[in-house]
Amino acid sequence: MRSFSMVLLGLAALRAQTEDFGKAYSFAERKPGTKVEQTIDTLLPSIVKIHGASGLKTISAYATGILVSNKGHVLTVDQILLQPDRTRVVLYDGSVHQAKLLPADDRLGVRLIQIDPDAVRCELRPLWPAPDTTFRTGQFVVSLGNCFRLAEFSEKVSATFGVVVGRANTALRYRMTDVKYDGDIILTDACNNPGHYGGGLFSLDGRWLGLNMRLLDSKETNTMLSAAIPVADLLPYLDEVVNGKPRPVAAAAAEPAWLGAVLFDKAGRQSPPAYVERVVPGSPAAQLGLRNDDLIVRLGEFSTRTCREFAEILGKFAPGQTVTVTWKRGTQVMTGDVTFGKAPTEAGK
Amino acid sequence: MNASTMARAAGAALFVAAALAAQTPPSDEFLQLEPVLQQALRKAGPFVVTVETYGGTRQAQGSEGAADGEGPPKPRQMPKWEPKPRQEDPDDADKKKNEKKKPLVASGFAQAQGKTSGVVLTADGWVLVSRFALALEPTTVLITVPGRGTFHAVRGGEDTSRGIALVKIDAQDLPVPDFVHPDQVHVGQWAFALGRTFAADEPTVHLGIVSAKKRLFGRALQIDAYTSPANYGGAVVDVQGRVLGIAVPLSPSGRNAGVEWYDSGIGFAVTIADIQPLLARMQQGEVLQRGWLGVQLATAWLGPGAKIDGTPKDGVAAKAGLRKGDVIQQVDGVEVMNGPHFQMLLSSRLGGDPITLTVRQKDGDVLTVGPLTLADAPWSEQKQSKDAELPASFPLPKEPEGR
């Protein structure tokens, strides 16, 4: 008898579930919960599912986006699945909308797409970066996204929980493959699985902190990392495309910086450490007091572990820029400020 | 009572239960924990340092890699390209789940020469690092102490069985952590894994709990916070910012593995507060290794005692006269239940440690052997020896070799 009633109890629960299943999302079904639960519940209608073109095994045909305007703008990570005529957005009520591609931002690696707001029957709930976009290491975060396309129709996207692991720079300190974005990123242990990217990273009180990036492949540690682009960096692009505010144009690339230290760079598969072989007289390196056999270990805050890295990092600076150089002489670690010069021309040599 | 009324009753019961659950005031435990974590970070941040290495030999670390310190590195073999079978539905989530989970770090893991982390041990400049940081035998090791600058580090001793090493920098009045004794650690308590790799101005943090104690034969805590090359050598701290242990890549087999486990929810933190005498020896430059007795156990023998199936010629046991067929009854007065028990008793020891055995010989005579001095394990923790797999049997190298 007891087991029989247990079965019935199970059936009743199942029935309740099936009745709920497939229902369009409505705000009326919201139940009170903890602050964190309420935060997630409030954010969910702003997170949309994106379906697009695919055809390759390694590229998924789904992603996540964040609704940022009442005019139907959706922000997501720029990726191959976003093809004209083949990009569709699924809103929280389950409705599917054809999306138009807007110009992408190549530095950020993000793109806005737009759906027709007049075709939307539900209330649009756009998100916009709050004035306070700061985040800190150890801060608790909730990450929202449609990982592995688990959510269909009006189903809610997945919420994962974690902390801000730290801050990293994609430019140099932190070599990664396939990263367009060039700047500071938020590392998190709330996992970015395929499909999760384009979703958002939020503080527990619901502040929008970042846009989930693709899984990063770190050359520095040979591991995969979950990260997000801070919203502060997204704001100028959003303002330009959504609100028509022009952005300041970035200065054109200047000549490469010149230090005047010739390194002991032998050819080979492995680039050797950046030992100074010769210092060009009168060069910035000479003024700094570099000598041969010094090991240059850092330019600014970027470690120069090999001659190849040294050249790469030097290329990021421009003549006239002043940075702190760190080098090792014997067992002494020395530092000094140097202002980069321009490389002498061939005729001048 | 028919089925439909029962279902209704059950439904009503469910409803009441749900209503009751809704009435209890919801607690925001995350919101309460966050400031605690922040405070622990502020406390622990100053003694977590950055380790950078320059020079050395890049080579593969995984099972396909060349063993450490065995001549010049062999060129790494690139896997042959093979066309992959076409997957019918790339979007099928179930299929993805059913696929064998591939580790994010491939076998033959090539160690990148990125930054790793370290922890200040003493105010006068001893710093604990992971042996992982030194695996490439770098020519230069630099330690950056937050707010104090970068220092040239001189290598001290190591404990290969724990995967830690000491380096010395020329600095005074460094911030020193409190190390928590493993006896005061509880399974289930919060454990935050800190590193200082990606940015110099603030540490990185991963959240987790203590999963188990006395792992790796009493050497480490098991935690579920992510440990990776980015925070190896970093501190695993409790909510008060005290150090529970140092994150290291290790596995029970004794191989310097664990890298491929980094996102598996399995990480190890070597405890420090309980190894003060060993730290003193490492400060003298000693390289500590697992102890080796040189016996192979009969796996079919279920006890009491551990039955010897063989003794390699150069082993400590052979030299002490132990032979195949002898049964080890006691280790330092502790009654041995069976083979695995004997391994537990032995595996926590280091080379040079004394050991006294009570042995019942084949002819029935019971002898006390020892105290013997354990040799250094002929396999290094780095050597990726398949023979080092525990606890199936004791390693029995074909060619016994000294270090």
Q: Which of B34, B77, B204 to mutate to test the interface with A (most CBs of A within 10 A)?
A: B204
pLDDT value at residue B101:
38
DSSP B98-139: HSPPPPSS-SS-BPP---EEEEE-STTSEEEEEHHHHTT--S
Domain ranges of chain B: 182-272, 291-388
Three-class SS state of A115: strand
Q: Which CATH class is domain B182-272?
A: mainly beta
Query: How many Å apart are CA B251 and CA B378, to the nearest integer?
Result: 18
Determine how β-strand B149-159 pairs with β-strand B164-169: antiparallel
- B265 close to A (CB below 8 A): no
Q: What residues have CB less than 8 Å from B317, skipping those under 6 apart? A: B293, B294, B295, B308, B311, B372
Contacts of A12 in chain B (CB under 8 A): 7, 10-11, 14
Tell me if ipTM is over 0.85: no
- Which of A149, A219, A301 has its CB closest to that of B93? A149
Contacts of B207 in chain A (CB under 8 A): 162-163, 189
Scanning the structure block, which residue is given the tokens 């926590």? B348
- Mean pLDDT per 10-residue section of chain B, whose length is 403 residues: 47 47 59 88 94 72 33 40 47 44 40 82 95 85 92 93 93 95 94 87 90 90 88 94 92 56 78 94 92 88 88 87 91 92 89 92 87 81 39 36 36
pLDDT value at residue B314:
84
Contacts of B105 in chain A (CB under 8 A): 222-223
Contact of B340 with B391, CB cutoff 8 Å: yes
Q: What residues have CB less than 8 Å from B2, skipping those under 6 apart? A: none
Q: What share of chain A is helix, strand, coil (3-state, %, to 5)?
A: 20, 35, 50
Name the residue of chain A whose CA is nearest to B88's CA.
Answer: A57
CATH of domain B291-388: 2.30.42.10
Which of the 8 DSSP states describes residue B398? S
Domains A140-233 and A257-342 share a fold: no
CATH of domain A27-119: 2.40.10.10
Contacts of B58 in chain A (CB under 8 A): 270
Q: Which CATH class is domain A140-233?
A: mainly beta
Q: What share of chain B is helix, strand, coil (3-state, %, to 5)?
A: 20, 30, 50
- B34 close to A (CB below 8 A): yes
Q: Do A223 and B262 touch (CB under 8 A)?
A: yes
Contact of A24 with A94, CB cutoff 8 Å: yes
End-to-end CA distance of chain A: 99
Query: How many Å apart are CA A280 and CA A344, to the nearest integer?
Result: 11
Contacts of A8 in chain B (CB under 8 A): 3, 6-7, 10
Spell out the per-residue pLDDT of chain A, length 349, in tens. 344 444 444 444 444 444 455 565 555 555 667 788 888 889 999 999 999 887 566 667 889 999 999 999 999 998 888 888 889 999 988 899 999 999 998 888 899 999 999 999 889 999 999 999 899 898 999 999 988 888 887 788 888 888 999 888 765 444 555 566 777 889 998 888 888 889 999 998 899 999 998 877 777 677 778 899 999 999 999 999 999 998 877 666 667 889 999 988 877 667 788 999 999 999 999 999 999 899 999 888 888 888 888 888 888 888 888 999 999 998 899 999 999 988 887 544 4
* Architecture of the A257-342 domain: Roll (2.30)
Contact of B122 with B280, CB cutoff 8 Å: no
Instruction: Count CB atoms within 10 A of the CB of residue B255.
Output: 21
Q: Do B34 and A139 touch (CB under 8 A)?
A: yes
Contact of B361 with B311, CB cutoff 8 Å: no
- B261 close to A (CB below 8 A): no
- B302 close to A (CB below 8 A): no
| Residues 265-304 of chain A whose Cβ lies under 8 A from any Cβ of chain B | 270, 272-273, 295, 297-298, 301, 303
Query: How many Å apart are CA B190 and CA A133, to the nearest integer?
Result: 28
Q: Do B198 and A167 touch (CB under 8 A)?
A: yes
Contact of B179 with B242, CB cutoff 8 Å: yes
Q: Where are the beta strands (DSSP E) in A47-198?
A: 47-51, 62-67, 73-77, 88-90, 96-105, 110-115, 140-145, 158-169, 176-177, 184-188
Domain ranges of chain A: 27-119, 140-233, 257-342
- B204 close to A (CB below 8 A): yes
- Can you state the angle between helices A2-20 and B3-23, rounded to 10 degrees? 70
Longest dimension (CA), chain A: 100
Three-class SS state of B395: coil
Q: Which of B78, B91, B168, B202 to mutate to test the interface with A (most CBs of A within 10 A)?
A: B91
Contacts of B170 in chain A (CB under 8 A): 331
- The amino acid sitting at B399 is E
B30 to chain A nearest CA, in Å?
A: 8
Contacts of A224 in chain B (CB under 8 A): 104, 263
Q: Which of A305, A308, A327 to mutate to test the interface with B (most CBs of B within 10 A)?
A: A305
pLDDT value at residue A251:
63
- The amino acid sitting at A283 is S
